[in-house]
Amino acid sequence: SHLLLTDPAPLAANHDDSTNESSLSTLLTLCDLLNRELLVLIGWAKQIPGFSGLSLVDQMSLLQSGWMEALLVGVAWRSQGTLGEELVFAGNLRLDEAQCRSAGLADLYEALRHLTIKYQMMRLSPEEAAALKAVALANSDVDPVDCPDSLQRFQDGLHEALLDYEASRREQHRAGRLLMSLPLLRQTAHRAVQTLLRLQHQHRIPLHKLLLEMLDAKA
């Protein structure tokens, strides 16, 4: 309940009009959205029960490691309702395969569709999406961990919430199935980060400072 209550409202894209080149404009719009999503995610993470009980060092490590996974849960969640094969980055930023391809995001499109289809088939609920986002952060396998006991408690609390929720729906296998989707989520996030790093080098897309900082931790 707490995760749902604090789940941030979806952001809208601010369409970039600084260039006539549509693929560049798409990338700039996407990066701006990503930066704002990241800010909101950090604010949200602080409200996840147990997060503030972690040391500041661990809070930073978890976010630096798991931010893209958490954000992609949102993209996959928003995209699962679409009839077409669009990725819904925001209500007003829906990209199909051709648009992604022309923006240099073909590999990202493919990876994100794979993830989206997986969640689409499971009919992910809002509760599950919120839980997965929190679990992705908590489970980001940072090394070294400053305070392992607090991290373990944080993870256990989220796990327990997920089990309770699925038990209330009398869905015996769903919690396990969701957790089994985490490797694909990580793989997809890795692709997304690689794509961003590549775009930054190739096109010299100006990235916001926070986004650069988070990418820097991944590079």
Residue 164, interface with another protein (CB under 8 A)? no
Q: How far apart are CA 62 and CA 85, in angstroms?
A: 32
Q: Give the residue, chosen from 50, 210, 215, 218, that forms a contact with another protein under the rule CB under 8 A.
A: 210
Residue 180, interface with another protein (CB under 8 A)? no
Residue 214, interface with another protein (CB under 8 A)? yes
Q: Give the residue, chosen from 21, 141, 160, 213, that forms a contact with another protein under the rule CB under 8 A.
A: 213
What is the closest distance, in whole angstroms, from the C-beta atom of residue 209 to another protein in the complex? Answer: 6
Part in contact with another protein (CB under 8 A); list of ranges 52-60, 114-122, 137-145, 172-180: 52-60
Task: Identify the three-state secondary structure at position 49.
Answer: coil
Q: How far apart are CA 58 and CA 138, in angstroms?
A: 10
Residue 99 is given by DSSP the state H
Part in contact with another protein (CB under 8 A); list of ranges 5-13, 38-46, 88-96, 115-123: 38-46
- For residue 38, with 0-12 CB atoms within 10 Å meaning exposed, 13-18 middle and 19 or more buried, which class applies? buried
Residue 56, interface with another protein (CB under 8 A)? yes
Residue 163, interface with another protein (CB under 8 A)? no
Question: 10: cis peptide before it, omega within 30°?
Answer: no
Report the Cα–Cα distance between both ends of the chain, in Å, rounded: 35
Using the minimum distance from each CB to another protein, give the nearer residue, 76 or 214: 214
Residue 42, interface with another protein (CB under 8 A)? yes
For the chain, the maximum distance between any two Cα atoms, rounded to a whole number of angstroms, is: 53
What is the closest distance, in whole angstroms, from the C-beta atom of residue 180 to another protein in the complex? Answer: 30
Site string for another protein, 78-117 (x = CB under 8 A): ----------------------------------------
Q: By rule CB under 8 A, what count of residues binds another protein?
A: 16
Compute the CA torsion angle 68, 151, 11, 89 (nearest 10 deg): 30
Q: How far apart are CA 155 and CA 59, in angstroms?
A: 13
Q: How far apart are CA 147 and CA 33, in angstroms?
A: 33
Q: Which residues bind another protein (CB under 8 A)?
A: 39, 42-43, 46, 56-57, 59-60, 63-64, 209-210, 213-214, 216-217
